[in-house]
Amino acid sequence: MSEIPVPAARVPVQAEADVLVCGGGSAGVACAVAAARRGARVILLERWPMLGGMATAGLVTCFHRRDREKIVIRGLVEETVRRLDARGWIRLHVRNASVHETEWFEPEGMKVVWDAMLREAGVRIFCGLAAGEPILDGKRVRGVLADTKRGRRAFRATFVVDATGDGDVAAKAGLPFEYGRPTDGRVQGMTLMYALCGVDNERRRALPREERDAIHAEMLALARDGKLPTFNPAFNPCGAPNRWWLNMCAVAGSPLDEEELTRQTALARERVWQFVEYFRRRVPGYEQATVEQTAPSIGLRESRRFKGLCTLTREMVLGALKQPDALGHGVWMIDIHDPLGTGHTTWSDRDERAMVPPGQSYHIPLRMCLNDRIPNLSVVGRPASATHEAHASVRVMSHTMTMAQGVGTALALALESGRDPAQTDLPRLHRALKEDGVHLEDVP
């Protein structure tokens, strides 16, 4: 790769704060709100023109909060649900206590709700602005640079949080990370969500179970023969009358290669229409179905995983391990979407060997978000420290929000004490989290 010299320059400071959160997805929003409500001055940078990440740009619209007996994920996740429900933006409450899924929500409503929560907390929000190079000063990070429409600007802060989803800031700061599964270095497959409208719900509901099963079997056979794209066999349309969101269109590639990501997104978009054309021909009630929208962003599940002070493992997840620095509970299974892009997932057959036992949950530790190289830089969300298998559980939005609310609270307490988050007074942190509605039990 050739190189060019870049002249040194003095960069104006655009804004300063106590906490700078880079990335406004589910984790970034929760971290920013939690820190601001505890008195910190917070700045949030988000590359998309709206907040929400996978919940809005990715059309991923489900929360997993139940341990298959009771709800154990609360805090800012539950507040989000209440606010959505008050506006009619919860599409379905799943009442079956034997499943993890609790709510399906309207992504357009989520944009409004999270905007309001941040605004009310006093967070300064800069959308359409991606965090760039970190500003390093020895073993500390002083902020980040960002290329605005008026030129390069600096955003300075006491603490910096990487909530970018891919760990872009932490990687540029030189923190070590792992990538992909140990066998071949591949990350989990990606899915392009899409919204389907024009479905005749009465005819769809009248379809006998036997005929639905026959259509599903036919689709699987066509995919095996190369006459339909491969897909997630557990896809479950969800939505409102005459409008459905589908989680089925799988591809594989590197989220860190923009050119490849562009190709895979275009491929997935083409495959969406192959499925829709099949539905129109074959499924009663879908004759007039059409694509209302494909997600602005392909659904990303895994990329960098940073090496933290503690690495969450498969054994910790499935063994429902409790942690002294717990931020909250995790319940979701080891849900690995095939890195080869077939769409197969352990969720497809609900393999009990990949699931936390019913009625149990594991703790999400603060240490998985901290590192031993740059003590004032935290990583929340998908890139937090976990193995390939454990990451497949803790990556879901309800879990990353729980993690990030805990980190945001820890940063606010660190500001009060003048210490770094690794030196957090854990009993004080746990009291604060419980005061803020987090369900937290069995802390050793």
DSSP 271-328: HHHHHHHHHHHHSTT-TT-EEEEE-SS-B----EEE--SS-B-HHHHHTT---TTEEE
3-class secondary structure, 270: helix
Instruction: Identify whether residues 31 and 97 lie together within a single domain.
Output: yes
Shared-domain flag, residues 127 and 156: yes
Looking at the structure, do residues 306 and 290 belong to the same domain, yes or no?
no
The answer to whether position 4 is within a domain reads no
Torsion angles phi and psi, residue 28, rounded to 5: -65, -40
Q: Are residues 173 and 265 in the same domain?
A: no
In this predicted structure, what is the pLDDT of residue 97? 81
Are 192 and 295 in contact, with CB atoms under 8 Å apart? yes
Beginning with the edge strand found earlier in the chain, give each strand of the sheet holding 62-64 in spatial order: 62-64, 101-105, 90-93
Q: What pLDDT, on a 0 to 100 scale, did the predictor assign at position 234?
A: 81
Any domain includes 441: no
Same domain, 61 and 77: yes
pLDDT at 8 (0 to 100): 85
Query: What is residue 341's DSSP assignment?
Result: S
Q: State residue 250's pLDDT score.
A: 94
Q: Same domain for 25 and 157? A: yes
252 found inside a domain: yes
Residue with tokens 């594991």, as numbered in its chain: 362
pLDDT at 146: 98
From the first residue on, what is the mean pLDDT of each consecutive set of 10 residues in the chain (444 residues)? 88 97 98 98 97 96 94 98 95 76 93 98 98 97 97 98 98 98 96 93 90 94 96 75 82 96 97 96 94 96 98 98 98 95 79 89 98 98 98 98 98 98 98 98 97
Residue 39 shares a structural domain with residue 173: yes
Q: What is the CATH number of the domain that holds 237?
A: 3.30.70
- Domain encompassing residue 308: 13-182+302-334+346-435
Q: The domain that contains 99 carries what CATH number?
A: 3.50.50.60
pLDDT at 15: 98
Please provide the size of the chain in residues: 444
Shared domain check, 395 and 272:
no
228 and 202 share one domain: yes
Q: Are residues 50 and 135 in the same domain?
A: yes
DSSP string, 101-150: EEEEE-HHHHHHHHHHHHHHHT-EEEES----SEEEETTEEEEEEEEETT
Asked whether residue 340 is domain-assigned, the answer is no
Q: How far is CA 301 from the centre of its chain?
A: 8
Please give the mean pLDDT across all residues of the chain.
Answer: 95
User: Domain total for the chain?
Assistant: 2
